Amino acid sequence: MVVRALSFGSAASAYEQFRLGYPDELVDEVLSYAGRPVRTALEIGAGTGKATRAFAGRGIAVTATEPDAAMLAELRKHVPATVATVQGAFEDLSLTSTYDLVFAAASLHWTDPADRWSRVASLLNPDGIFASFGGPMSLADEAVEGAVRAARSQFLADDGVPSPDGTPADSPMQWPGTELLRSDLFIDVRQSTIERRTTMSALDYVGHLSTISAYLELPASAREEVLGRIRAVLPERVTLVADLTLHLARIARPNREA
């Protein structure tokens, strides 16, 4: 998982170009859940800063952390000057500062499970909240999706990231909500879905695939071949299901009810 987590830097500019941003609806839901002003936030694994921009645009002082130097360099080109940036893995971040919000945008699965939740809790203010959101993009047309699976099958059986705790895809509560519910460090765990549909050119969709870790891990020649095979079975434009699953939780405090 560590190798995959650090595979994105070679595609930082493509990541910025082809990955979708985050909608206002998502930020609205996070801030509404907070129920109080959110002035400071820490992002885990910020990538090129797409989620950073969404929250910083609401006047929140965001600290964006990212272990990959190339990704962080790309982020710095696009975020407001008010955003603080730190190069470092989540596991290496200093626990000397705390925040109203800690969030992870399609990055939490790359963190070490051993002390994941204790570190998040240590980074939160007494009334702080945690948010994790993301989700795979899939082709809306099942026939086209099947053709893509066949085209990549010699190289990849699956290009997704499996659930870190093995939660089945049809479970009512998905990861990381499952872990949050088992933790005594968090309460009021919620899961919701923000539906998104988008249409893009076949070339842009292949560009998106080129930023996914499963493809980035392939040798360059194999990656070029499989992406070419996929492009060959696509229509000129494709419609994608790009739903976001949002998980929210509050830090638990023994005296919360006092």
Confidence of residue 2 (pLDDT cuts 50, 70, 90): very low
pLDDT at 4 over 80: no
- What are the CA-CA distances from residue 10 to residues 1, 154, 211, 220, 223 (Å)? 17, 24, 9, 11, 13
What does the pLDDT average to over 63-86?
96
Q: Tokens for 247, please give them.
A: 């998980």
Q: Answer yes or no: pTM beyond 0.85.
A: yes
pLDDT at 117: 98
Confidence of residue 8 (pLDDT cuts 50, 70, 90): low
Read off the pLDDT of residues 100-111 as tens digits, 9 standing for 90 and up. 999 999 999 999
pLDDT at 11: 84
Q: Using CA atoms in the order 229, 21, 42, 187, what is the torsion angle rounded to 10 degrees?
A: -90
Read off the pLDDT of residues 29-51 as tens digits, 9 standing for 90 and up. 999 999 999 999 999 999 999 99
What does the pLDDT average to over 70-93?
96
Which value, in Å, is the radius of gyration of the alpha carbons in the chain?
Answer: 19
pLDDT at 65 over 60: yes
What does the pLDDT average to over 2-23?
76
Range scoring the smallest mean pLDDT among 11-15, 117-121, 179-183, 204-208: 11-15
Partner residues linked to 84 by β-bridges: 63
Mean pLDDT rounded to a whole number for the chain:
94
The CATH number given to 2-137+161-196+242-251 is 3.40.50.150
pLDDT at 1 over 60: no
Q: What are the residue ranges spanned by the domains of the chain?
A: 2-137+161-196+242-251
pLDDT at 253: 79
pLDDT at 10: 66
What does the pLDDT average to over 149-167?
95
pLDDT at 3 over 90: no
Read off the pLDDT of residues 237-257 as tens digits, 9 standing for 90 and up. 999 999 999 999 999 976 544
Q: State residue 222 phi and psi, 5-degree precision.
A: -70, -40
Please report which residue ranges of the chain form alpha helices under DSSP H.
2-5, 12-18, 24-34, 50-56, 69-78, 116-122, 142-152, 177-182, 202-209, 213-216, 220-233
